[in-house]
Structure 1
Amino acid sequence: MKSSHATWIFSLILMAAAQPLFAEPFYTGQLIAPLNDLHNHGSSVIELPNGDVLVSWYKGSGERSADDVKIVGARMRQGMEEWSEVFDMADFEDFPDCNVCMTLDREGKLWIFWPLVLAKRWETSILMSRYSTDYLGPDCPKWDWQKPIILKPGEKFAEDSLKAIESFEKELPEAGVGRLAEVIESLKEKVKDPYARQTGWMPRANPTVLPNGRILLPLYSDGFSFSLVAYSDDNGATWQASRPILSMGGVQPSIVWKEDGTLAAFMRDNGPPPKRVIYSESTDGGETWSRGVDLELPDTGAGVQALRLKNGHWLLLNNDVEEGRHSLGLHLSDDEGKTWKWTRHLELVEPGEGSFSYPSMYQSQFGDIHCTYSYKKKADGEGETIKY
């Protein structure tokens, strides 16, 4: 179906391999589906081997408390300019299915991951996965296999977490009083509880597949307000949990790698001010992580997406303001994140005039940068959708 809303859309072409650093950019795109009165959020976009663009997101009357929420998708065929009709990708009837992400493993299987929300609480969600080997047709992929991924963060997870919490207490003068003191004490008990450690892990950003084939699935917990990584060395057959990525509210990591093999995780800031993108590193393939630190880049506390380009440069896409989702900035680094010298805005309106968030992006085989994100703009009328 060709969208009737051909407003400013965004597919940014940087031609980042053999071209000059910033060749003349080309912008195009469309709304994937018309604005509607349901909640459309948390998109994931990838390129399939035949050049098709596949997008998935969750759609329903709410989020964790709405039992009609399901994972839907749409595709644009290679060489076409029209999106398919929206189709169902995953739906556990009468339970919310939320934040979805996708990847292709080195065997060519298409994976999707999402949380199945139980009891209308993020922290009791079950991480689900399914894959397809038959996904190049015009409609929804045909799924071969599905199962939950149950991780077992162990006692080391609890030890690391308790040490970090004690450190955070010393850094926050108000930590010992009032509501914050209650939250901290509750968190100390949660990290000791195996049930709490094994549930509530949710994806957001797309997985990263390392050159050696290891799949890194970034996860976070609203129960703990920190993150970890599930990793697989057998193309998704089995999964292990990393040690926690600890910080004051760093969640929903997005991972890229440096030339020397170091992994870099960029996270949204769900913690106290100042609101900044939170950063952590791993030097052992994602099994352990440094304590998260604030970068200079502002972040409102919404989804962050990082991308390593074919020429080694990095892109970072986020709501680059301390409050609101009215600004969606794309930042480019040519020195592996030491500096971010260039910024272009995909969306920028006055506060309250629009909401653009939870971006996903990839670089195509031709060098194009393709982005999707949740879209709501007063000037376009009522409703929301996903923009490409």
Structure 2
Amino acid sequence: MATGSGEFIFPPQEKHVHSSSIVECPNGDLLVCWFYGSGERKASDVRIRGARLKPGSAAWSPVFEMADTPNLPDCNPVLFIDPEEKLWLFWIVVQARRWENAILKVRTSTNYQQDGPPSWDWQDIILLQPGERFAQVLLDGLDALNPASPLWSDYAPKYVDLMAGAAHDAGKRQTGWMTRTHPLVLSCGRFVLPLYSDGFNISLVALSDDRGTTWQASDPIVGLGNVQPSPVQRKNGDIVAFMRDNGGPPNRIQTSVSRDRGETWALTRNMTIPNPGSSIEVIALKSGAWLLVCNDTADGRYRLAAYLSHDEGTTWKLKGYLDKAVSEKEGEYSYPSVLQADNGSIHVTYSYHTNDGRETIKHVTFRE
């Protein structure tokens, strides 16, 4: 892996560009999307855009529009191709300029391998209904964690009181669940859609046993600032979720394990790999190894690393850096989206922000 290799999907420009997602189409096209606009939750012009790379081509297609809710920000798009080769686009629409008011939207396509954007067949809103058990699991988990960090312990009583009030409010439980990383299809066929809440500052997953027709919320994945989960399944059926750390120090990637197909989750634990409050993604490779792409610093998004694990996440070895700077003053490289193509090549797209305020999405490919 050569640090700094790869290509921009479009030239760096002045608008905000962030949170890409990549899939490989059955015909070999790479399809990527991201959000674009004047900001994030507070900018009404934010929309979802995309581009594709044809097999054998060195240049990405012109950018096209994938989704736009008029006068509201569309953010955090996620692409997914299911076992029946249907394309899914999950994303959020932000109401009242607050992440905790986000609505989870989805659209699907069976006609997406032509030039330009997919032709969408269907669109809906995913409404989750975590019940009172959500509140009990969350509060029991926070009580068991008993955080020792001064950042948390000084405010823990107030924090727990606030969480208790919100967790018992059905309206707050049912809104603000946001996408970021690829869904996982379990060996049993269940769809696992990873979600997180900036209101509760935790994660959960949406589960579907009917190929996405209906969705049910799992128990919360309880930790201190564990968001944007990336799930991967072990050979024994367990699911491990790797998460960004939005909590207090030490700033580390957090993990949790589910032993019942994603319905309940253990309290989070810290890895040794640092995390500066930035999204990560983990996938299982065809070889059986796991690949983790992340910012492995505690103080910024200026270094984007790839790690390999040959024991299903127990230990990790640094493979190399996709992009690397000395500090964020030189550039930011973050929010990776990762896939392994049918031919075994690994593809990563990520937000690339230059030191002069311009932004784009970068694509890098390498072999295991």
Q: TM-score, normalised by structure 2?
A: 0.95
Query: Which residue identity lines up with residue 136 of structure 1 in the other structure?
Result: Q
DSSP 3-state at the match of 2:342: coil
Q: Distance in 2 between matches of 1:128 and 1:32?
A: 25
CA contact (8 A) 1:160 1:244 kept: yes
Query: Which residue identity lines up with residue 289 of structure 2 in the other structure?
Result: H
Gaps of 5+ in 1: 1-11, 13-24
Query: Among 95, 107, 124, which residue is 1:130 paired with?
Result: 107
Deviation of 1:372 (Å):
0.3
1:197 aligns with 2:173: yes
1:1-388 to 2 correspondences below 5 Å:
29-169=6-146, 171-172=148-149, 177=154, 181-351=157-327, 352-378=329-355, 381-388=356-363
Greater shift in the superposed pair: 341-350 or 237-246: 341-350
Deviation of 1:214 (Å):
1.4
Deviation track 1:10-38 (CA, whole Å, cap 9, x = no partner) reads: xx6xxxxxxxxxxxx89953100111100
Q: Distance in 1 between matches of 2:150 and 2:62?
A: 53
After superposition, the Cα gap between the structure-2 partners of 1:225 and 1:305, relative to the gap in structure 1 and judged at 3 Å, is same
Q: Distance in 2 between matches of 1:86 and 1:226?
A: 34
CA contact (8 A) 2:4 2:322 kept: no
Deviation of 1:183 (Å):
3.3
User: What count of residue pairs does the alignment treat as equivalent?
Assistant: 362
Q: Distance in 1 between matches of 2:333 and 2:3?
A: 20
Query: Which residue identity lines up with residue 7 of structure 2 in the other structure?
Result: Q
Q: Distance in 1 between matches of 2:15 and 2:164?
A: 38
After superposition, the Cα gap between the structure-2 partners of 1:181 and 1:175, relative to the gap in structure 1 and judged at 3 Å, is farther
Deviation track 1:326-356 (CA, whole Å, cap 9, x = no partner) reads: 0111001111111112330111111121100
Deviation track 1:101-147 (CA, whole Å, cap 9, x = no partner) reads: 11111221100101110000000111000000100101100000000
Greater shift in the superposed pair: 39-48 or 26-35: 26-35
Q: Distance in 1 between matches of 2:29 and 2:227?
A: 30
The equivalent of 2:366 in structure 1 is: none
CA contact (8 A) 2:3 2:320 kept: no
CA contact (8 A) 2:218 2:262 kept: yes
DSSP 3-state at the match of 1:158: helix
Percent of matched pairs sharing the same residue? 47
CA contact (8 A) 1:41 1:386 kept: yes
Q: Distance in 2 between matches of 1:368 and 1:330?
A: 14
Q: Distance in 2 between matches of 1:40 and 1:141?
A: 21
CA contact (8 A) 1:106 1:235 kept: no
Greater shift in the superposed pair: 139-148 or 334-343: 334-343
CA contact (8 A) 1:105 1:213 kept: no
CA contact (8 A) 2:223 2:268 kept: yes
DSSP 3-state at the match of 2:75: coil
DSSP 3-state at the match of 1:271: coil
Query: Which residue identity lines up with residue 384 of structure 1 in the other structure?
Result: E
The equivalent of 1:21 in structure 2 is: none
Q: Distance in 2 between matches of 1:229 and 1:383?
A: 34
Q: Distance in 2 between matches of 1:356 and 1:341?
A: 20
The equivalent of 1:16 in structure 2 is: none
DSSP 3-state at the match of 2:57: coil
After superposition, the Cα gap between the structure-2 partners of 1:41 and 1:170, relative to the gap in structure 1 and judged at 3 Å, is closer
Gaps of 5+ in 2: 364-368
CA contact (8 A) 2:3 2:323 kept: no
Query: Which residue identity lines up with residue 82 of structure 2 in the other structure?
Result: D
Q: Distance in 1 between matches of 2:212 and 2:150?
A: 44
DSSP 3-state at the match of 1:206: coil
Q: Distance in 2 between matches of 1:237 and 1:316?
A: 30
Deviation of 1:181 (Å):
4.1
Q: TM-score, normalised by structure 1?
A: 0.90
CA contact (8 A) 2:197 2:227 kept: yes
Deviation of 1:172 (Å):
4.8
Q: Distance in 1 between matches of 2:84 and 2:28?
A: 17
CA contact (8 A) 2:201 2:226 kept: yes
